[in-house]
Chain A
Amino acid sequence: MQIKVLRNILESNQRLSDQLQAMFNEKRILVLNLMSSPGAGKTTLLEKTLTRLKHEFNMAVIEGDLQTSNDAEKIAATGAQVLQINTGRGCHLDASMIQEAVEQMDLNQLDILFVENVGNLVCPAEFSVGEDCKVTILSVVEGDDKPEKYPLIFAESSVLILNKTDLLPYVDFDPDKASNIARGLNRNIAVIPVSARTEEGLEQWYDWLRQRVNQKKNN
């Protein structure tokens, strides 16, 4: 006997993600899914952001990490609420992990929830976690061909942060090439070059955040 099915394989994750999104919308919390390779600078960017904007916004972080709590400790040092999810050997976060995490968090009065995904340019792109936007961080030491090699993550992201621009004199990375490839895949992607270490360019990222929080509050 043949059975016609036609069901999205990731339907259960998508359903849960939609439910989370509805809950976040009701509470008017801007939720950002931060994705990158390991070592691209997600945690440093977050540390700077949480410190710089702490008097403007109430922010929290869900930290996905394979084994350690090193990143969560760094985030907690900024004073922000942080919840650590150890994925063991899992290569991505999914909506059910986020649901479990938010049950243990205080979401009241929250303006921004950052989800720091597991460092990986492939798997996290497939699984929505209730976010408003995906943000991909690409560091210039990784090479300007990455959008070409990992098209899905760039096609899905609203923002591409080109990090470690302070190292540009030492590497063969053409920011225009990387931006153009990303825009070819996704013409609405905002490209923001920064150095999280020296803080150059971060004001543009903060302005983007301010604008999105504003939109979320007034929608």
Chain B
Amino acid sequence: MHEMSIAQSLIRIIDQEMARHNAKKLLRVSITYGSMSGIVPEMLQTAFKALTRDTLMQGAELETREVPLKVRCRSCAEVFIPQDDLLIMTCTFCGTEFGHEIVEGKEMYVQELEVE
């Protein structure tokens, strides 16, 4: 439901970057989002499309890529991508289960724009 707010923030950033580079048209924007963030990519697509109508961004492709959750083990402090259930998160280095510190997987970033 909050994809509308996210799309608005995204558009504000694209606006600033396009102005800075004197771009006339947006062709593509790529973003990444953590698997634990609450983004539903289809809803973000819909919101982006609706909010960019009649702007320099109309018709641009919104490329979304999910990045996996990364956690730091509470025992051995190694960073790993949990391969099993979110609730168990067995450390791939030492086998310790759950209670690890999340280091990546909650964030969302604008990665790149393609403009004319």
B-binding residues in A (CB < 8 A):
1-13, 90-92, 94, 120, 122-123, 125-127, 148, 151-152, 155-156, 181, 183-185, 187
Contact = CB atoms under 8 A, between A and B. Distances in A.
A152 B34 CA distance: 11
B29 to A, nearest CB: 8
A3 B17 CA distance: 8
Contacts of A94: 5
A37 to B, nearest CB: 13
Contacts of A90: 5
Given A12-B12, A183-B99, A6 B111 contact: yes
Range, interface on chain B: 35 or more
B110 to A, nearest CB: 4
Interface of B: 1-2, 5-6, 9-10, 12-13, 17, 21, 23, 31, 36-38, 74, 86-89, 97-102, 106-116
Contact of A1 (B12, B21, B99): B21
What does DSSP make chain A's interface, helix, strand, loop or mixed? mixed
Contacts of A6: 109-111
Contacts of A183: 98-99
A123 B39 CA distance: 9
A181 B89 CA distance: 11
Nearest to A3: B113
A127 B31 CA distance: 18
Contacts of B113: 2-3, 5
